[in-house]
Amino acid sequence: MLEIRNLTVNYGAITALHGISFTVNDGDIVTLIGGNGAGKTTTLKAVSGLIRGRGEILYNGRNLASLPPDQIVAAGVCHVPEGRMIFSNLTVDENLRMGAYLQKDKAANRATRDFVFGMFPRLSERLKQVAGTLSGGEQQMLAIGRALMSRPKFLMLDEPSLGIAPLLVKTIFEKIVEINRQQGIAILLVEQNANLALEVSRYGYVIETGRIILHDTSALLRQNDKVREAYLGG
C-alpha cells in the first residue's frame, strides 16, 4: 500500500532523514519507534505533503512526493498530527464536518459519522461543545474522528498518547486496533510509548538520527536486547 524509497529530508543544512525506506502493507498496523529528534514526525509530514524531501513516496503505486496535502487526503491518506491540532474555536460537530470537507456523498458521510460515534460515544454527547474546552483524551478522540470523516484507507497517527490521562490511553489504543480491524484501514503509528506501540502493531521500524537501523515483527522487536534496553526500559 505505502512504500517509501530512499526518502531524504533536509531542514536547511541539517539532514533529518537519510534515505530511509520502508513499507506498510494493506490493512496492517506498522509502528516507527525512536527517540526525540530521530525523524519520526518528519517522516509522517513528508508522507502527508507538509514538508518536501527527495525520494519516492508510493501509495498504491502512485508517487505522492510532489502532490499538495489536499490531493494526498483525497487519495485516501490522512494524518493525525502530534498535539492533535483540532480547530479549538469550532465545535465538535464543526470539526467533524471539516474532516468530511472533500467527501460529497452525504449518505456515506452519515454512515462514517455513525461509525465515529460508535467508536467514540463521548463525541456525540459533546457535539455543540467548543473543541478547545474538551479534555486531552476527548480532543484526541476528536482528532481521530475528524480524520476518519475523510474516509481514509491509510491513517497516520503521531503520538496519540501525548498529553492524555493514563486511564484514557488504553482506551485510545483499543479503538485504534478496532478501527484497523473493522474498517481495514492501514495505520502507520508513531508513539513514544514503545511498549504500547509494539503491542498493537504487527511490524516495527526503529529509527535513529534519521536512519532506520532495525526492523522486524513487533513481537520479535519486543524481545530484541537492543530495543529492550533503549526503548522498553530493559
Q: What does the domain layout of the chain look like in residue ranges? A: 2-231
- 233: its cell numbers: 526500559
Query: Please, how many CA atoms are within 13 Å of residue 161, restricted to the half-sphere of its CB?
Result: 16
Where do we find the cell 483524551?
A: 137
Q: Which class does domain 2-231 fall in? A: alpha beta
pLDDT at residue 38, rounded to an integer: 95
137-142-148-149 Cα dihedral, nearest 10 degrees: 170
pLDDT digits (tens, 9 = 90+) for 91-127: 999 999 999 988 888 899 999 999 999 999 999 999 9
Is 113:149 a contact under the CB 8 Å cutoff? yes
Rounded to two decimals, the pTM is 0.94
pLDDT at residue 140, rounded to an integer: 93
pLDDT at residue 234, rounded to an integer: 60
Is 72:64 a contact under the CB 8 Å cutoff? yes
What span, in angstroms and rounded, lies between the C-alpha atoms of 223 and 200? 15
pLDDT at residue 102, rounded to an integer: 83
